[in-house]
Chain A
Amino acid sequence: MNTSHPAPTAMLTGATVHRVVWVPGTDRLRGWCWCGTSHETEGPVELWEWLLAHPDTHPDTHADSSAGTGSGAHLSPADRSPTSAPRSARRRSES
């Protein structure tokens, strides 16, 4: 579903990622739920309210089930790696 999102390419790889894009040429924001549904608003406060309320309408609600664990104990180690690691591969040749 992330493939339907506009550039720049989606960076976070988790199963439940919200994405907010500044609509080109406007002052508006468009946000996507991970289910693919999107919504457009004037500003971030209103948009976050909508996005956070939205998962109530689909089954994969992480918001309450896992949010309370705090330390993220359910996460796999890979989630703690920077998205672009390892960067050593893309090192510039010393010149």
Chain B
Amino acid sequence: MSPFPRNQWYVAAYAHEVGRELFTRTVCGESVLLWRTEAGEVAAMADRCVHRRFPLSEAPSRLVGDTVVCGYHGFTYGADGVCTAVPGQARVPRTARLTTYPVKEQDSFVWVWIGEREKADEALIPRSPWLDSPGYTTVCGMEPLAARYGLLVDNLLDLSHETYLHGGYIGTPEVAETPITTEVDEAAGVVYVSRHMDDAACPPFYAKSTGIEGRITRWQDIEYHAPCLYLLHSRIAPVGAPGPNPDGTDPHAFHVEVVYAITPETEHSTHDFWAVARDFALEDQEVSDFLRENNRTVVLQDVVALDKLEQVIASEPAGAQELSINIDTGGLAARRILKRLVEAGAEAGAAGRQALTAS
């Protein structure tokens, strides 16, 4: 069984990574070739030539207009994946076509659908509108993680680890000390974990970016849309400042929207996309540089820890004993949802294959 949920949307890239150069990224074990047509549309197709499987992202393969020319023997493909020319002969084999992926550019990400294409529905893609909203300034990056995606989901759903793994950056004692409230919509595949700290130390990440001196109210509201998108709504305000208004406006607080896309690469590696969008100091380059540098440092602290954890887990027999406590309430729900999505994707695949053999 595939270790990944199939029939799901995944972030394959940032929109700015895909242009008029051939670009490749492995998503759920599938090598996806990404490029933009002259009209600016993103094309997504298998990164393996149908002839002898040469990677089309590899030089001297190249883009010529709106076609990809294989660098090995010259098979030429359009944006629809159909092969239009082969060397030496006029007839192009009817079956010469690359698998294409349903693709959607949205909220500064390029999403691809991994699974049966007739099930792809763009309305199912979870949103992160801040990332390209004029009301926010965003810094972002992507770190390769040599660990299975589930470890990153565990990590992000329980932020009490900030106190220990990210002390001096984003962690303060209050994070681990403050109880959480968890909500789970099993059917929608959404987990919400809320931690509201009334009176907390302000970690450097927020002190330096907001300019707040002294203690803060710090709200962390996590929304995980399985399998790929994770949102952390972070609200920071000086202690004693008024809360949000009933109409949703919140002029006395600073808001940071931290977004992760958790995209499985292989069974034991993950693309760790991270973005930090803020609604203050929009034009301040120093704040942008600071948040980018600092958040990347924090992400890398997780990467080092999870890479190590992966080695340990991979070396142990499956099902080694763990012990869950209150902080794991949301993480356990996420694991359960992911397990169900993996099974559902596998069942759908099996049913599809059966239908093919039957016909």
List the interface of chain A (C-beta within 8 A of B).
Answer: 8, 10-12, 14, 16-22, 24, 27, 29, 43-45, 47-48, 62-63, 66-77, 79-94
Contact = CB atoms under 8 A, between A and B. Distances in A.
B187 A14 contact: yes
A67 B182 CA distance: 20
A5 to B, nearest CB: 9
A39 to B, nearest CB: 13
A77 to B, nearest CB: 4
Contact of B324 (A10, A17, A20, A44): A44
B124 to A, nearest CB: 6
Interface in B152-198: 179-190, 192, 194, 196
Interface in B111-126: 115, 119, 121, 123-126
B5 interface: yes
B307 interface: no
Contacts of B190: 12, 14, 79
Contact of A16 (B133, B186, B280): B186
B7 A17 contact: no
5 contacts: A12-B190, A67-B187, A70-B345, A80-B225, A87-B279
Contacts, number: 169
B326 A22 contact: yes
Interface of B: 5, 7-8, 115, 119, 121, 123-130, 133, 135, 179-190, 192, 194, 196, 221, 223, 225, 231, 233, 244-245, 247-255, 257, 279-280, 282, 324-326, 328-329, 332-333, 336, 340-341, 343-345, 347-348
Contact of A63 (B7, B186, B252): B186
B181 A88 contact: no
Given A70-B340, A71-B7, A92-B255, 16 more contacts: A12-B190, A18-B185, A19-B182, A20-B182, A21-B182, A22-B180, A29-B329, A47-B329, A69-B344, A70-B347, A72-B187, A73-B119, A80-B124, A80-B225, A87-B279, A91-B249
B188 A90 contact: no
A16 to B, nearest CB: 6
A83 B192 contact: yes
Contacts of B5: 70
B326 A82 contact: no
Nearest to A68: B344
Contacts of A67: 186-187, 340, 344
A12 B225 contact: no
Nearest to B122: A77
Contact of B183 (A19, A22, A88, A91): A19
Residue picked from B328, B332, B345, most chain A C-beta under 10 Å = B332
Contacts of B340: 67, 70
A88 B135 contact: yes
Nearest to A70: B344
Nearest to B130: A87
Nearest to B336: A48
B233 A81 contact: no
Contact of A8 (B127, B181, B186, B282): B181
Contacts of A16: 185-187
Contacts of B123: 76-77, 80
Nearest to B9: A71
A93 B244 CA distance: 13
Contacts of A11: 183, 192, 194, 221, 223
Contact of A71 (B124, B129, B280, B282): B124
A14 to B, nearest CB: 4
Given A8-B181, A12-B190, A91-B279, A73 B124 contact: yes
Contact of A44 (B189, B245, B325): B325
Contacts of A18: 183-186, 333
